[in-house]
Structure 1
Amino acid sequence: MKKNIVVGVGNMLFKDEGVGIYASEYLKQNYEFDGDLEIIDGGTLGFKLMTYFQEYENVIILDTVSIEENAGEIYRLPSDVLLGMGNYRKTAHEVEIVEMLEIVSVLDSHAKVTILGIIPEDIISVGIGLTETIENRFEEFILNAIKEIESLGVKTKKVNNIAIPDIVKSMIGSYNGEHLSRIPNEEDIRHATNI
């Protein structure tokens, strides 16, 4: 069984809904890890998450959480707590995560799953980039993720200080209306279409 994985979950097209994906990429670009750790962008993986729940000892999911509290509040939700939270399930991937946990909880061997979630301000508007509320809490969200990773015995070291707008721009070329001067992989697109 593999040891530890961090899975950023969400949908980058709907403002704060992308925070988990941005956080996983932020960790990759700004930190080095000494220990058995994988970090992936899980997107809206849904039922594919089951594979991770079965193949790893520890799964940390970075995501939004739909709890009736103030936007920007950060929650650490171990799987046993999540299983009792019917009202948590608002977005499609939140529903799928809980359903996956319910399915694997009856198996003999499954990961210890922890969700590190932040309450979003806006997951309805179409737009790439975080709201100011979530952006202001993003660093704290990352520090909570680092603390969770370190609790698994993985050493962490900050090696860069790339800001979240630049991380997102490096992924998709845009952040809250600011664009890179060129689209990522623009050359590849031009060659593929013979422009």
Structure 2
Amino acid sequence: MRVLVLGIGNILIGDEGAGVIFLEYFRKNLAPNIYIKEEFKNQDLHQLVFLDGGTMAMNLAHIIADFDKVYVIDCINADDLEVGDVVFFDYDKVPSNINYQGSAHELEMQMMLNFMSLVGDLPACKILGIVPKRLEPMKISLSDEVKKSFALMQKCLLEELKQDGFLLEFKNDFSIEQAIENYRNLSSVN
């Protein structure tokens, strides 16, 4: 099975970047594994690929379509959830209290997934979402509530990937702060 773990979000708007920062934190904490691949077009039948999708939603359709399963990690809005709450659901069974109207990238991501589903190109898809606290323009950081929720997100994703046949070891030697700092180093925004 070819599986894509896709982090989505805008790192320049505080908690809005939680999806990509979590992806960096998660990926850097995994022990080396023969199934983890850096390239997308690989002939291996069983592979796991991590991708920072940023805010590129529509530009990712051709990549997503090449996989058997995709996990989208992103911020979500929900009517009855608190900041830092984590939800994990099948894309085709979105809970009624969840919506994607919080930001431009979320709306575009929802539109892209809907489009792919309509034309039959969407692989099995699950959303690992977190409720953000703050959206601060030009601030590469995360709220304490979101940082604390990374442990639950990690547990959920590791268990799900295990069910997909990927037995992964989480080393926990790369901190959330290091993941944030990696993105700060790519930008002149602090």
Mark the structure with the bigger radius of gyration.
Answer: 1
- The alignment-based identity, stated in percent, is 25
Which deviations, in whole Å up to 9, do the C-alpha atoms of 1:103-150 show, x marking residues without a partner? 111234431111100000112443111111111222222222222222
| 1:139 to 2:151 alignment | yes
Q: Does 1:53 align with 2:52?
A: no
Q: Distance in 1 between matches of 2:7 and 2:87?
A: 15
Give the gaps of 5 or more residues in structure 1. 180-195
1:190 counterpart residue number: none
Equivalent residue in structure 1 for 2:54, among 43, 52, 58: 43
For normalisation by structure 2, the TM-score amounts to: 0.82
Listed one character per residue, the Cα deviations across residues 67-106 of structure 1 (whole Å, up to 9, x for unaligned) are: 1220111011211124977833221121112111221112
Asked if structure 1 preserves the Cα contact closer than 8 Å seen for 2:4 and 2:69, the reply is: yes
Aligned length: 175
Decide which of 89, 93, 96 is 2:101's aligned counterpart: 89
Task: Give the corresponding residue for 2:10.
Answer: 11
Query: Which has the higher relative contact order, 1 or 2, with Cα contacts under 8 A spaced 6 or more apart?
Result: 2
RMSD over aligned CA atoms reads 2.4
Alpha-carbon separation, structure 2, partners of 1:81 and 1:93 = 21
Tell me, in whole angstroms, the C-alpha distance in 2 between the residues paired with 1:89 and 1:147: 29
Counterpart for residue 23 of structure 2: 24
Structure holding more helix per residue: 1
CA separation of 1:24 and 1:86: change in aligned 2, threshold 3 A? closer
| Structure 1 CA distance for aligned equivalents of residues 121 and 136 of structure 2 | 37
Structure 2 gaps of 5+ residues are 36-46
Question: Which residue is 2:83 aligned to?
Answer: 71
Measured in 2, the distance between the counterparts of 1:127 and 1:109 equals 35
Report what 2:163 is aligned to.
151
Structure 1 range deviating more: 110-119 or 152-161:
152-161
3-state DSSP of counterpart to 2:99? helix
Which consecutive aligned stretches of 4+ in structure 1 deviate over 4 angstroms post-superposition?
A: 83-86
- Quote how far apart the aligned CAs of 1:27 are: 1.8
